[in-house]
């Protein structure tokens, strides 16, 4: 079944070792599809080079504190393995590969591998649950630009699933487990922020985040501490979505909080360092009584079933 079709799982990527941090930052900030920095397009690579030089030492220190590099490649490989096992039971025997935007495996090298393996078509599978031009959109545009060079066509992909019942179910189950420990906690959904100008230019990301939040609230029902939403991971001198997670935490002074990384499906720097170390320290200074963080869905069976259902649906 579909022996000449490959599934390509799309994610941002990250530096595997400390020596990869500077080139990772140059690629990240130099990619206008991912982050549109102020000024003309021709100047962005220079701007990115400067940002990378300034931020490398600080970023290396953070990566050192979570094991010496990003675990995203390892985490995503585990998701691919879990998905492969599930899809084999459903009759799909084709390759399942990873493609990252900012680190290896990159699109061009992976498409070359797939061409050698005789793959004729690929089905993109986004590991960004929320429809966003800057993340999934940029990955798809890259594939559309490169795939024809290798004689590979692109099938309609699994590009978002913000309110898919099994994705929502996986998150809701993880939140319930934390609520058993802290029943009066306020649940704070934390999403990666996005520049406001991208939203103003029609990016659906913000509304997609609200879809997930509303679906989880409906799944869990009313809770004593209530729900709220904040945005994390702001960088650069531009306007970003608000309220910031720090502002939301200040509003919860004296309470228990459960932070839910709603826009991430695997552990990496923004969960392991930003949420677990930086925001925990902020919470303690603010006077949060107990600060808990929900794990990402990772290889949660319900989440993997969500992905496999969508893949099989798109292959029909």
- What is the tens place of the pLDDT at every residue in 128-161? 999 999 899 999 999 999 999 999 999 999 999 9
- What's the pLDDT tens digit per position in 79-88? 999 999 999 9
Kindly state whether residue 81 falls inside one of the protein's structural domains.
no
Cα four-point dihedral sign 177, 181, 186, 188: negative
CA distance 284 to 294: 18
Kindly state whether residue 107 falls inside one of the protein's structural domains.
no
Kindly state whether residue 59 falls inside one of the protein's structural domains.
yes
Kindly state whether residue 108 falls inside one of the protein's structural domains.
no
Long-range contacts of 22-28 (CB under 8 A, 24+ apart): 22/52, 22/53, 22/56, 23/52, 24/102, 24/103, 25/51, 25/52, 25/55, 25/56, 25/59, 26/52, 27/101, 27/102, 27/103, 28/102
Are 104 and 140 spatial neighbours (Cβ–Cβ below 8 Å)?
no
The residue with greater pLDDT, 29 or 270, is 270
* 248: containing domain: 165-293
Kindly state whether residue 209 falls inside one of the protein's structural domains.
yes
CATH number at residue 179: 3.40.50.1400
Domain count, the chain: 2
- What's the pLDDT tens digit per position in 16-41? 999 999 999 999 988 888 877 778 88
Kindly state whether residue 196 falls inside one of the protein's structural domains.
yes
> If you average pLDDT over residues 228-234, what whole number do you get?
96
- What are the tokens at 164? 């898919």
Q: How confident is the model at residue 3 (pLDDT cuts 50, 70, 90)?
A: low
Q: Which residue has the tokens 């998701």?
A: 79
Kindly state whether residue 256 falls inside one of the protein's structural domains.
yes
Kindly state whether residue 272 falls inside one of the protein's structural domains.
yes
pTM of the model: 0.94
- What's the pLDDT tens digit per position in 168-181? 999 999 999 999 99
Measuring CA to CA, which residue among 132, 177, 123, 181 is closest to residue 308? 123
């Amino acid at each position: 079944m579909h022996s000449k079709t490959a599934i390509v799982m799309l994610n941002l990527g990250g530096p595997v070792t400390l020596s990869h941090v500077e080139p990772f930052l140059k690629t990240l900030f130099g990619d206008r599809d991912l982050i549109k920095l102020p000024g003309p397009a021709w100047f962005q690579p220079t701007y990115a080079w400067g940002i990378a030089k300034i931020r490398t030492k600080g970023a290396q220190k953070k990566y050192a504190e979570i094991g010496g590099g990003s675990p995203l490649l390892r985490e995503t490989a585990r998701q691919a393995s879990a998905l492969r096992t599930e899809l084999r039971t459903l009759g799909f025997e084709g390759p399942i590969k990873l493609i990252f935007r900012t680190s290896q495996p990159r699109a061009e090298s992976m498409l070359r591998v797939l061409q050698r393996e005789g793959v004729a078509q690929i089905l993109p599978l986004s590991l960004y649950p929320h429809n966003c031009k800057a993340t999934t959109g940029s990955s798809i545009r890259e594939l559309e630009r490169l795939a024809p060079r290798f004689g590979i066509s692109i099938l309609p992909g699994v590009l978002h699933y913000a309110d898919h019942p099994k994705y929502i179910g996986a998150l809701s189950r993880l939140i319930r487990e934390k609520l058993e420990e802290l029943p009066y906690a306020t649940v704070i959904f934390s999403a990666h922020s996005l520049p406001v100008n991208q939203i103003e230019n029609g990016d659906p990301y913000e509304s997609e985040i609200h879809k997930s939040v509303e679906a989880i609230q409906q799944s869990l029902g009313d809770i004593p501490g209530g729900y709220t939403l904040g945005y994390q991971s702001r960088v650069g001198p531009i306007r970003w979505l608000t309220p910031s997670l720090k502002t939301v935490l200040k509003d919860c002074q004296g309470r228990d909080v459960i932070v839910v990384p709603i826009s991430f499906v695997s552990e990496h720097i923004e969960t392991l360092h930003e949420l677990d170390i930086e925001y925990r320290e902020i919470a303690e200074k603010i006077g949060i009584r107990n600060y808990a963080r929900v794990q990402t869905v990772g290889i949660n069976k319900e989440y993997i079933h969500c992905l496999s259902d969508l893949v099989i649906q798109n292959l029909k």
